[in-house]
Copies of this chain bind each other. A is one copy, B any other.
């Protein structure tokens, strides 16, 4: 029986046109990270399941992880996210290296998902984290980096926004103002996390089922009606949360001063499901009505190293997946045309006798730094332009008996059809022609 030619469910084959898009996206990620002096790192594709268990709890492990027992009886998983790995690595070295530590990575990750738009089983994720920054400066730099990255693709404030909240504020609302117990607090987190995905009625129903004190429910409603930084500051002031107000205002003031205000929107329903966040939490949202979804999420966490018995090191970071980002860039028409290869010269020959010479010329022209596609077999004159065009070649050359004899290379510009003759022993002249 013939084998299946399709890729495994929920994964992608990247044919060259697709891979060039991914490489374009990766190169923008690397450029932005290195403009911010973030350093690259990577870790293994497999980690022990215990690492994910400690960080994310049972649910993710049971339902969404690719786990198995290896031949040495270790219970391992294909990495579903990068944060546990980077925490494990920072735990090894944080005592020896100067802080803040600023690292980035673009790993391939797998989750057992039901494949759908924006969600696949395998994706690549741009991960940036800062460890050991003081005050709110790490949070601000992470937001600045995200905006810079999106701008590097040509995106603007009409196309994306960063919905932001602070766990410290959410905790204050639940614990200090509403005074609910821990169990109810956890339920509230889950309800609020779903707030934007359900109707107002459904949200009210979920809240009613908690049977909160009327005063608490009133506070919750007031909190959920907050729609901007200004609203939030009024709410905190009214409820005498001076510490939270001062601290979050510092973040907001610096963000405004450095031009981030256009992108930041306070949103009380952003809480991020995972339980390790302790400071800001945020999601980058596509503003296009056809693709209204979270592109990227992140936040600040104070205690990630605890699972390794290490002293706390404050951290903040985000993960941006290639699937959702590509959807965003396509939705807003922000991708260049990468359907064809990028070739400087399609080097063809007409007779078998020119085979060795064509290989030699290819080598010499590559030494000059040009991308040369050797046709590898004789090409009929009338097919050279068509085949050159399919490869995205800027120039083509044809090596026939005549040229071999006269020791010259005949070159043509594929757009202008302009011709050039270059002697075999003067190939450096190609620098002027092909550039």
Per-position 1/0 for A58-70, Cβ under 8 A of B: 0000000010101
Let me know if A103 and B16 touch, CB within 8 A.
Answer: yes
Per-position 1/0 for A1-20, Cβ under 8 A of B: 01111111101111110011
Let me know if B40 and A19 touch, CB within 8 A.
Answer: yes
A403 located at the interface, meaning its Cβ lies under 8 Å from any Cβ of chain B in the complex = no
Task: Give residues of chain A (80-126) contacting chain B, Cβ–Cβ below 8 Å.
Answer: 88-89, 91-93, 98, 100, 102-103, 108, 110, 112, 122
Give the copy number: 2
Let me know if B44 and A11 touch, CB within 8 A.
Answer: yes
Output the nearest chain B residue to A103 by Cβ-Cβ distance.
B16
Let me know if A144 and B3 touch, CB within 8 A.
Answer: no
Complex partner residue of A366 from B98, B100, B148, B374, CB under 8 angstroms: B148
Let me know if B257 and A356 touch, CB within 8 A.
Answer: yes
Let me know if A372 and B35 touch, CB within 8 A.
Answer: yes
- Residues on B with C-beta less than 8 A from A186 are none
A325 located at the interface, meaning its Cβ lies under 8 Å from any Cβ of chain B in the complex = no
- A: interface residue count bin: 35 or more
| Complexed CA–CA distance, A340 and B407 (Å) | 49
| Complexed CA–CA distance, A138 and B375 (Å) | 10
Known: A360-B257, A371-B37. A137 touches B355 (CB 8 A): yes
Let me know if A3 and B308 touch, CB within 8 A.
Answer: yes
A interface, by DSSP: helix, strand, loop or mixed?
A: mixed
Known: A5-B88, A100-B376. A15 touches B93 (CB 8 A): yes
- Residues on B with C-beta less than 8 A from A2 are 307-309
- Residues on B with C-beta less than 8 A from A148 are 363, 366
| Complexed CA–CA distance, A130 and B350 (Å) | 21
- Residues on B with C-beta less than 8 A from A91 are 5
- Selected interface stretch from A48-56, A193-201, A208-216, A418-426: A48-56
**Ranked 9 nearest A-B pairs via Cβ:** A11-B44, A37-B373, A2-B309, A16-B39, A68-B68, A137-B376, A14-B42, A257-B356, A19-B40
**Seed contacts A3-B88, A39-B341, A45-B122; 12 additional CB < 8 Å A-B pairs:** A3-B48, A8-B47, A15-B93, A19-B39, A20-B39, A36-B366, A36-B373, A37-B343, A45-B108, A100-B376, A135-B377, A141-B359
